[in-house]
Structure 1
Amino acid sequence: MPTTAQLQTKIEELLLRMDTMEERITGTLSQKLENLITDAVKSLIDNKVKESEKRMGKKLENCIANTKDDLTAKLASLGQENDKIKRELTNHINQDATEKSFYASQYEEQKAKITEMQKALKDLKSENEKFINETQELKERVKTNEKEVDDIEMRSRRENLELHGVPMMANEDPVQLVIHLASKLNMSLTRNEISYCRRFTKKNDVKQSPTNKKDDAKQSHPIILVRFKSMSTRDDFFKKRKDITNSFDFGISGMKNLFMNENLTKLKRDLHYEARQKKRELEYKFVWTSNGKIFLRKNEKSKIIHIDSMEVLHRLK
């Protein structure tokens, strides 16, 4: 019979073998169980996935169907809108074409009118230039005629003299006054040598400088206009003005001075006035008239300038 120790050893070996078998069985079962669980879970997941796929497929089909319906409806609506826009665009194009045709016709009409107006303006400009030239020529002719008429009038006054500064007396005889003044100037003069003599007040048809005391003195008494029968007698009398001094005794009460002027026409009086103004402005020394002609001279050594028009005065410096 085996001993206790042997039995104990055997029992331990059996227990060890049993533990080993248990571990093997447990491992095998665990592996099988794990495999079963895995298969079951996998199957479950596959089933769930298939079910989800079916549900998702149906939802997708429904969504696609709904989307298709929506798209169809929207496409139909867009088609309607497109047709509306197309009609409006067509109408607008037709309207634009009509307006374009209208404006084109208006443009051509206005263009024709402008062309006509430009031609009329050109013709008018040509006529205006012609009129200006004719007017200028007419002005020159009028100016020439005025000068010729003035020269004729001046020649008719060639024998005349104006005497300024002679006081007016009661019941005076202008002819006798002139003869008296001639005698004071050492000139023998008779009534037969005077064809006309009278007093008159000159019209204010020529400007007078308010600062010119000489002009004021000349206008303080009515002028004596005397017409001699010969130019030589008139010239002799006119030359005597150079003998008059500031202290000259005229033998007439209240008479301070005697100024002799040629009997100028209005045109020449105005020109003579402007010449006197220019004399003061440019500080010329001499201005005088001779036989109806007006002259300026800066000094004794300068040349004599014949003033026959305003243009000559304007050129002076």
Structure 2
Amino acid sequence: MSDKYDSLLEKVRNLEEQNSAYYKRIQELEEKFERETHATKIELRNVPKETHETKDDLLNILKKTGGVLGSTLQQSDVKNIYRINTKNEGNKPIIADFTSCLTKDKFISNLKKYNKTHANNKLNTKDISMDGPAKPIYISDNLPQKTRQLFAAGRDFAKKNNYVFCWTSVGRVYLKKSEQSKPILIKCHEDLNKMSTE
């Protein structure tokens, strides 16, 4: 009986280990799928909503923005475009889903160049001929919820621990202590916890 009990316990342990490995693998695949789903998407924030706004209106906003940045866009470059609901009652963010990562990366790259060369007058609503006072337009990668939370935690960690840079690239979060230091990939909240104790 004792041998049978020990054998049963061993089988249970093996099953638990297998289940743990499967669960971890499933999580990794889900995260990879989310990254790939968001890989071609950008998010435009602080853009005023027009009355009776349509997808064509949103596409026109995106094209005008691209024109200012030096990223000429055709309708065929955009798979989908829409506003998302948020708790904030202000202007809902616009999500633009490009047909390729290359188009999206070029758009983001041109944005960074534009804002760098127009440091005192960064991209705003006046640049795209929108009525009303000039409002800054913020554009970034559209991140999955988990990555968004990790990015927020990374920015908080950077402020508290004197890290100069915290950014995202291809759905991953990075930290950098200084201009000369190497980028640190942050995969999960535990990575930040470990860095806090080092």
Q: 1:178 maps to what in 2?
A: 62
| Aligned with residue 147 of structure 1, among 22, 25, 28 | 28
Q: Is 1:238–2:108 an aligned residue pair?
A: yes
Q: 1:287 maps to what in 2?
A: 166
Q: Is 1:247–2:121 an aligned residue pair?
A: yes
Identity of aligned residues (%): 24
Q: Counterpart of 1:316 in 2: which secondary structure? A: helix
Name the structure with the higher helix share.
1
Q: Which amino acid aligns with 1:260?
A: I
Kindly indicate whether the alpha-carbon contact (under 8 Å) linking 1:241 and 1:259 is maintained by their aligned counterparts in 2.
no
Q: Which amino acid aligns with 1:234?
A: K
For structure 2, the residue ranges without an aligned partner over 5 or more in a row are: none
State how many pairs are aligned. 181
Q: Which amino acid aligns with 1:247?
A: N
1:255 shift after superposition: 4.4
> Which structure 2 residues correspond to residues 72-221 of structure 1 after superposition, within 5 A?
127=9, 131=12, 134-135=15-16, 137-172=18-53, 173-202=57-86, 220-221=90-91
Alignment CA distance shift 1:193-1:167 (3 Å):
same
Q: 1:63 maps to what in 2?
A: none
Deviations 1:57-96 (A, max 9, x none): xxxxxxxxxxxxxxxxxxxxxxxxxxxxxxxxxxxxxxxx
Q: 2:189 maps to what in 1?
A: 310
| Aligned with residue 229 of structure 1, among 99, 120, 123 | 99
Q: Which amino acid aligns with 1:307?
A: I
**TM-score (structure 2 length as normaliser):** 0.78
Moved over 6 A (4+): none
1:235 shift after superposition: 0.8
Q: Which amino acid aligns with 1:298?
A: K
Alignment CA distance shift 1:270-1:192 (3 Å):
same
Q: Counterpart of 1:167 in 2: which secondary structure? A: coil
1:288 shift after superposition: 0.8
| Aligned with residue 146 of structure 2, among 254, 258, 267 | 267
Separation in structure 1 between the aligned mates of residue 148 and residue 16 of structure 2, nearest angstrom: 27
Separation in structure 2 between the aligned mates of residue 144 and residue 264 of structure 1, nearest angstrom: 21
Alignment CA distance shift 1:180-1:131 (3 Å):
same
Larger CA Rg, structure 1 vs 2: 1
Q: Which amino acid aligns with 1:278?
A: F
Q: Which amino acid aligns with 2:164?
A: K
Alignment CA distance shift 1:134-1:309 (3 Å):
farther
Kindly indicate whether the alpha-carbon contact (under 8 Å) linking 1:184 and 1:250 is maintained by their aligned counterparts in 2.
no
Q: Which amino acid aligns with 1:151?
A: K
Q: 1:56 maps to what in 2?
A: none
Q: Counterpart of 1:300 in 2: which secondary structure? A: coil
Q: Counterpart of 1:314 in 2: which secondary structure? A: helix
Alignment CA distance shift 1:267-1:141 (3 Å):
farther
Kindly indicate whether the alpha-carbon contact (under 8 Å) linking 1:167 and 1:254 is maintained by their aligned counterparts in 2.
no
Alignment CA distance shift 1:257-1:149 (3 Å):
same
Separation in structure 1 between the aligned mates of residue 194 and residue 75 of structure 2, nearest angstrom: 46
Q: Which amino acid aligns with 2:173?
A: I
